[in-house]
Structure 1
Amino acid sequence: MSTVSGKTVGITGASGFVGASLAHELSSQGFPLVCLGRSQCPVDSSFVSLDLGADFDVTEDLSSVDVFVHCAARAHVMDETLASPLDAYLKANTSATLRLAEQAAAAGVSRFIYLSSVKALGESTAPGEPFRYDSPLAPLDDYGVSKARAEKGLQAIAARTGMEVTIIRPPLVYGPGVKANFASMLGLANRNLPLPLASLSNKRSLVALDNLVDLIITCISHPDAGNQTFMVSDDHDVSTPELLAAMTRAHGKSPRLAPCPPGLLSFGASLVGKRAVADRLLGSLQVDITHTKEVLGWAPKARMEDVLKQCIKGVSE
């Protein structure tokens, strides 16, 4: 099997939210796949058993791979219970990533695409000051630290070995099958309670799963994608009330949002121990994808309104 580009693609995390969608799309486009992980790939591919939490050597297994996409990671956890979460994040997201990249370089992989996170740059942005591709690494939580250290290590490996490294930093990713806080918000929108959020004017960047997958595939073949760092989003930032209203309309209902001073909302959230949740609802986190669009000639195609309807349809089926 061959593609126009003739590239064989290796993937980790092919059973996950992003990786599974990526594997399906690559397969539909005719890319030969080598999936590495603890469970079989959801599409036809070569399969290599890999536990990122253990010592591993997959150098020989990667000998046929041209481009490697590393999606697997220990996901961000809001209510962490481990005594030393940083150690767990560093082991899974930093040490294992760099070990895998070293082996990919030794196997002759030409490009290593790393799915990082906007959290490598921080937790929030000031009005009119979105994170850019060249913003300094300034993570504020353990997950972000693990991603930032992996980025720095990968760039060192690229400089030493000649293997190209491409870093993609998504904000919150949503689409059919999304879980956690976004799924909770979809459920809240369906209940359509009168919520005191209308006064919020924050802005947050999101990226639809289809848009992220499209960018990853663009980076697989684009000649200028190597040794670059790309921000990604839908290129349409929304406030919390705008997002909740869009979700409510996707359910076929009219939004019921009332005004309330943001400071009062933040104070109330602190009283009930929900400050972290409030920070995400009330604060801004924006990314600038100008560099991504200019270097790759890429633009997001999926529209939030359509994707929200797909999310709801997927839950109801």
Structure 2
Amino acid sequence: MNTILVTGAGGFVGRMLCQALVNQGYATRGLVRAMGVQVEGVEYYPVDLVHDDVPFKSLTCVSCVVHLAGRAHVLKDQEQDPLSSFRLVNCEATLKLARQALEAGVKRFIFMSSIGVNGSHTDSEPFDEMAEPHPHADYARSKFEAEEKLKLLLAGTTMELVIVRPPLIYGLEAPGNFARLLKLVASGAPLPLRSIRNARSLVSIENVVSFLIRCIDHSEAAGQLFLIADGEDVSTSQIVEQLALGMDRRARLISVPAPILQAGLALLGRKSLYTQLCGSLRVDTSKARTLLEWHPVTDTLMQLQRVGRLYATQRNC
């Protein structure tokens, strides 16, 4: 039986991945910063990846490490040097873990990166694996540096590297901007997004988990970079409408010309928020579908409705 080690096992993606691995019969271990909600059947190890070595026992007989742990986007970062903080966690701690995994004889190392490595938005063509990287923020820079240093570290070794760059991952327990959007839609607050005609690729938590499991065993995944998404692009207004539909409420969208919205957010010091809300970011998933014969298990519109429905049910409990 394959033994899989998941870092960040207590996080949004980590919990779902651990549960799916257990359900599919994998022996599963999880690294967490602190013991919290646990998945039955997972062997947990509390560890601070920055300051501590990974317990040798946790890597013994492990065939694959799925590295999800990291420092993600921080809306109001209080660090004096945010880039250094991102590098410490997302790059240096990753390399330390990879070295230990290599010494322990792990066969494959899956690194969860970010579509931000490619850039903050797309124009005429979607991002694919051949697109030149243009990391646009400290978080994305640290992820790209980790990718490049992992390639150097593992070149010519027995441990195979797989890099996965997802766009925004959504689901009921998603953190960050998606959680805020759920709350806004549920509140009935008017949102100035009706005039926005963008196209964004998203990926559901179910599809992320499905793809990661595909990467664990598929021989063709070795040494590859993959961009993944649900496979259908939606506008920000469509996202709001589908969430509201699932909540059984009307989406309160108002029309504000894009230049005015952009100028207003710039005055508030939230220029990047305009790109996130109103810019397009499209992902070409052809490589994942053809090389690994992977197909998404959920589609965007129906899954957004489902998330909205679950959120409304949870709030009413």
User: TM class, shorter-chain normalised?
Assistant: over 0.9
For residues 231 and 99 of structure 1, the distance between their equivalents in structure 2, rounded to whole angstroms, comes to 25
Q: Does 1:148 align with 2:154?
A: no
| 1:224-266 per-position Cα deviation (integer Å, ceiling 9, x unaligned) | 1111111111111111111111111111123343333211111
Residue 267 of structure 1 aligns to a residue in which SS? helix
Residue 160 of structure 1 aligns to a residue in which SS? coil
User: Residues 57, 200 of structure 1: CA spacing in aligned structure 2 closer, same or farther, 3 A cutoff?
Assistant: closer
For residues 96 and 272 of structure 2, the distance between their equivalents in structure 1, rounded to whole angstroms, comes to 33
Q: Does 1:198 align with 2:200?
A: no
Q: Does 1:234 align with 2:230?
A: yes
Q: Hey, what does 2:255 align to over in structure 1?
A: 259
User: Residues 263, 72 of structure 1: CA spacing in aligned structure 2 closer, same or farther, 3 A cutoff?
Assistant: same
For residues 263 and 14 of structure 1, the distance between their equivalents in structure 2, rounded to whole angstroms, comes to 42
TM-score after normalising by structure 2? 0.92
User: Residues 32, 125 of structure 1: CA spacing in aligned structure 2 closer, same or farther, 3 A cutoff?
Assistant: same
Q: CA deviation at 1:70?
A: 0.5
Q: Hey, what does 2:41 align to over in structure 1?
A: 44
Paired residues of 1:59 and 1:106 also in contact (CA < 8 A):
no
Paired residues of 1:177 and 1:314 also in contact (CA < 8 A):
no
Q: CA deviation at 1:34?
A: 2.0
Q: Which runs of 5+ in 1 are unaligned?
A: 1-5
Paired residues of 1:23 and 1:43 also in contact (CA < 8 A):
no
For residues 226 and 312 of structure 2, the distance between their equivalents in structure 1, rounded to whole angstroms, comes to 29
Q: Hey, what does 2:266 align to over in structure 1?
A: 270
Given candidates 165, 172, 181, the residue that maps to 1:169 is 165
Paired residues of 2:167 and 2:229 also in contact (CA < 8 A):
yes
What value does the CA root-mean-square deviation take over the aligned residues? 1.8
Residue 219 of structure 2 aligns to a residue in which SS? coil
Q: Hey, what does 1:310 align to over in structure 2?
A: 310
Q: What amino acid sits opposite 2:137 in the alignment? A: D
Q: Hey, what does 2:72 align to over in structure 1?
A: 75
Paired residues of 2:120 and 2:275 also in contact (CA < 8 A):
no
Paired residues of 1:203 and 1:239 also in contact (CA < 8 A):
yes
Paired residues of 2:18 and 2:42 also in contact (CA < 8 A):
no
Q: What amino acid sits opposite 2:177 in the alignment? A: N
Paired residues of 2:59 and 2:104 also in contact (CA < 8 A):
yes
Tell which deviates more after alignment, 268-277 or 16-25: 268-277
Given candidates 21, 25, 33, the residue that maps to 2:20 is 25
Q: What amino acid sits opposite 2:201 in the alignment? A: S
Q: Hey, what does 2:106 align to over in structure 1?
A: 109
Aligned-residue sequence identity (percent) comes to 37
Q: CA deviation at 1:118?
A: 0.7
Q: Hey, what does 1:3 align to over in structure 2?
A: none
Q: CA deviation at 1:63?
A: 2.4
| 1:48-82 per-position Cα deviation (integer Å, ceiling 9, x unaligned) | 33211204154554121001101110111122121
For residues 308 and 113 of structure 1, the distance between their equivalents in structure 2, rounded to whole angstroms, comes to 31
For residues 194 and 9 of structure 1, the distance between their equivalents in structure 2, rounded to whole angstroms, comes to 45
For residues 82 and 220 of structure 1, the distance between their equivalents in structure 2, rounded to whole angstroms, comes to 35
Q: What amino acid sits opposite 1:123 in the alignment? A: S
Paired residues of 1:208 and 1:307 also in contact (CA < 8 A):
no
Q: What amino acid sits opposite 2:309 in the alignment? A: K
User: Residues 82, 313 of structure 1: CA spacing in aligned structure 2 closer, same or farther, 3 A cutoff?
Assistant: same
For residues 201 and 281 of structure 1, the distance between their equivalents in structure 2, rounded to whole angstroms, comes to 10
| 1:61-112 per-position Cα deviation (integer Å, ceiling 9, x unaligned) | 4121001101110111122121011111111000110111111111111110
Q: Does 1:300 align with 2:296?
A: yes
Residue 119 of structure 2 aligns to a residue in which SS? coil
Residue 200 of structure 2 aligns to a residue in which SS? coil
Q: How many residues align structurally? A: 311
Residue 13 of structure 2 aligns to a residue in which SS? helix
Q: Which runs of 5+ in 2 are unaligned?
A: none
TM-score after normalising by structure 1? 0.92
For residues 279 and 139 of structure 2, the distance between their equivalents in structure 1, rounded to whole angstroms, comes to 19
